[in-house]
């Protein structure tokens, strides 16, 4: 059961600020900016808005070419998906950790629907084959499973639909 269901289960569809911090501990930086209503509660749309702010911050980092900030956002996103939404798994967490152990990695996170699947990692340019080799070796040593890495490049840039 996903954590959002707790908000839906409340008769008024709200979480208290205390409940929100307990349910989403990796997102306190956004809760400080959410408008409070009279009883100091957070509604489900406000939680969704907080998530959208993280997406907007990633788009802004991409548009500025700020790869370090984007990497930090990747890491924050993975921590939130793992801890707040509980949609990661041991193998994905191990792969993210293997990526983050690579000196050329700026950030890593699970991608897709969670509960297994893939990781996207942001690596500095140059030495990609060596970096992927070290990541896959580290992952195999920790899990006993083989991993494959692929180079992907964005095409057409980032755009914001308004």
Quick one: angle between helices 44-64 and 67-83, nearest 10? 150
Among 89, 140, 144, CA closest to 118? 89
Query: Is the model's pTM score more than 0.85?
Result: no
Structure tokens at 19: 């409940």
- Per-residue pLDDT reduced to its tens digit, 93-124: 999 999 999 999 999 999 886 667 799 999 99
Using only the alpha carbons of the chain, give its radius of gyration: 18
Q: What is the pLDDT of residue 38?
A: 47
What are the DSSP calls for 75-129, one per residue? HHHHHHHHHTS----HHHHHHHHHHHHSTTEEEEEEESSSSS-EEEEEE-SS-HH
């Amino acid at each position: 059961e996903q954590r959002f269901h707790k908000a839906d289960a409340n008769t008024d569809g709200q979480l208290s600020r205390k409940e929100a911090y307990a349910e989403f501990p990796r997102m306190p930086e956004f809760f400080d900016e959410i408008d409070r209503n009279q009883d100091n509660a957070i509604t489900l749309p406000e939680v969704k808005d907080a998530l959208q702010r993280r997406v907007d911050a990633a788009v802004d980092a991409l548009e500025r070419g700020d790869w370090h900030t984007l990497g930090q956002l990747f890491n924050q996103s993975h921590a939130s998906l793992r801890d707040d939404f509980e949609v990661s798994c041991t193998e994905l967490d191990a792969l993210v950790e293997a990526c983050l152990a690579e000196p050329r990695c700026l950030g890593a996170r699970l991608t897709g629907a969670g509960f297994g699947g893939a990781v996207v990692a942001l690596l500095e340019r140059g030495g990609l084959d060596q970096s992927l080799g070290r990541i896959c070796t580290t992952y195999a040593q920790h899990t006993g499973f083989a991993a494959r890495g692929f180079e992907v490049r964005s095409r057409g840039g980032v755009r914001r639909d308004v």
